[in-house]
């Protein structure tokens, strides 16, 4: 029997985990209720990390290739660092435009979001 294996990056794994979050909670309902409760408390953090890692994955894909040199690399990394500063400011103002999972979670569930200002390290 042959099965095709698809490797996922950490960002893709987190995104997929977040997409399946409710199903995962249902699975742990009877298997491990304490883990289920811990996961529920971390839902907004998981959404944030999934969104943030997807941004890192985009940069990582841009940094791959044989025609990359120091100038092109700097051209990609410098704006990304500026974007991180923008993300930090927006999170401090509780604006989640760049984080679709967090924005959807906040809109759908009226989540009490923790302040992400201290999480984004630049």
SS3 assignment, position 105: helix
C-alpha–C-alpha distance, residues 68 and 113, integer Å: 39
What pLDDT does residue 53 have?
92
DSSP 34-88: HHHHHHHHTHHHHHHHHHHHHHHHHHHHHT-STT--HHHHHHHHHHHHHHHHHHH
Q: Give pTM, 2 decimals.
A: 0.77
C-alpha–C-alpha distance, residues 54 and 13, integer Å: 10
Q: Which helix (H) or strand (E) holds 92?
A: helix 70-92
User: What is the greatest pairwise CA distance in the chain?
Assistant: 54
Query: Tokens for 31?
Result: 């298997």
**pLDDT less than 50: residues of the chain:** 113-118, 120-122
Give the domain ranges of the chain: 10-118
């Amino acid at each position: 029997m042959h099965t095709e294996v698809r490797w996922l990056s950490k960002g893709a794994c987190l995104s997929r985990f977040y997409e399946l979050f409710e199903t995962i909670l249902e699975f742990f309902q009877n298997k491990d209720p304490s883990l289920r409760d811990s996961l529920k408390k971390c839902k907004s953090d998981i959404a944030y990390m999934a969104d943030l890692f997807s941004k890192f994955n985009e940069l990582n894909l841009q940094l791959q290739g044989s025609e990359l040199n120091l100038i092109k690399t700097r051209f990609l990394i410098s704006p990304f660092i500026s974007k991180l500063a923008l993300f930090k400011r927006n999170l401090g103002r509780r604006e989640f435009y760049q984080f679709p999972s967090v924005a959807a979670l906040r809109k759908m569930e009226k989540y009490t979001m923790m302040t992400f200002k201290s999480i984004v390290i630049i």
